[in-house]
Amino acid sequence: MSKDIKVSTSHKGDIAVISIQGDVTAVTGEVIGNAYGSNDILNSPKILLQFDKDCYINSGGLASLIDIASEGRKKQQKIHAYGLSDHFQKIFHMVGLTRCIPIFTSEEAAMKDF
Amino acid sequence: MEQLLELHLPNILGAEKEAIKKAVIIAEKLGFARDRIEDLKTALAEACINAIEHGNKFDQNKKVRVTLAANNKSLEVIVHDEGEGIDPKKIPTKRVRDDGFPCRRGYGVFLMSNLMNEFYFEKNPGKGNNVKMLMHLNG
Ligand SMILES: Nc1ncnc2c1ncn2[C@@H]1O[C@H](COP(=O)(O)OP(=O)(O)OP(=O)(O)O)[C@@H](O)[C@H]1O
Ligand SMILES: [Mg+2]
């Protein structure tokens, strides 16, 4: 089954960037997990999750993101996020995900605050 | 209540998106604000996912039925599965672990009951499970 997600990785200085477009669900979580698990990302102390404002995120996707946050905590990584729609910013707050993945309103803010 | 939609979804994760698309069109016609429609999308998604996963236990011979109805006060969403119903004892009461880290799972019911104005579930032995949610037109 094709996965309705596009994930790419890049670096901005010492920050590893994971860009996510599409569906963040239990089905696509593996794709994000694999991107996060690639060597250059996994060993980076700073990770920026760049979401698309049209992302569809459900509870299965939240579980995948919590897995990444949990791994990141073990590795003492800092993980920031930006680009989420107002709705998913609210959802991240409601479920307490912002405690481990703080969200920012712009890329600049997310990068500056590491 | 006037029935506006009846959908029979295949019991596969992702099928909820079909219901969401149709529900958005109806909610827009009823005049719900953008942010309320986003809340509805998430609540409907979580109800369908639970029906697929916990109710129908990923059995592809089973279906999820979604019905939408409305009157001048609210939009009613009913998501039906062929399972045994929700055991209230299995609904997590906490979403944070003792170390302050968020739990991995247990957000669906929390989101539905907080994003919608009313949230109910009822099991009908032998007839499956219904999750019923209402969103009021006046907020
Ligand atoms: N349609 C259903 N039929 C049977 N049991 C259900 C149904 N929906 C929910 N439940 C029960 O209620 C529990 C809580 O559901 P909830 O959606 O809050 O969490 P979850 O599905 O376990 O995790 P998450 O939604 O975060 O992926 C489930 O674990 C399940 O035991
Ligand atoms: Mg659920």
Q: Which CATH class is domain B2-136?
A: alpha beta
Tokens of A68: 């990444």
Query: How much is the pLDDT for B125?
Result: 81
Instruction: Give the whole-number percent of chain B exceeding pLDDT 70.
Output: 100
Is there an atom of ligand 1 within 6 Å of B43 CB? no
What sign results for the dihedral spanned by CA atoms B97, A106, A25, A43? negative
Strand residue runs (E) in chain B = 2-10, 63-70, 74-81, 118-124, 128-136
B-chain CB neighbours of A63 within 8 Å are 104-105
Atom of ligand 1 nearest to the CA of B83: 3
pLDDT tens digit sequence for A60-102: 999 999 999 999 999 999 999 999 999 999 999 999 999 999 9
| Option in A63, A96, A97 nearest B105 (CB) | A63
| Option in B49, B102, B108 nearest A96 (CB) | B102
Is 3.30.750.24 the CATH number for A5-112? yes
ipTM of predicted complex: 0.95
Do A48 and A80 touch, CB atoms closer than 8 A?
yes
- C-alpha to C-alpha distance for B29 and A68, rounded to whole angstroms: 39
B-chain CB neighbours of A69 within 8 Å are 101-102
- For chain A, the domains span 5-112
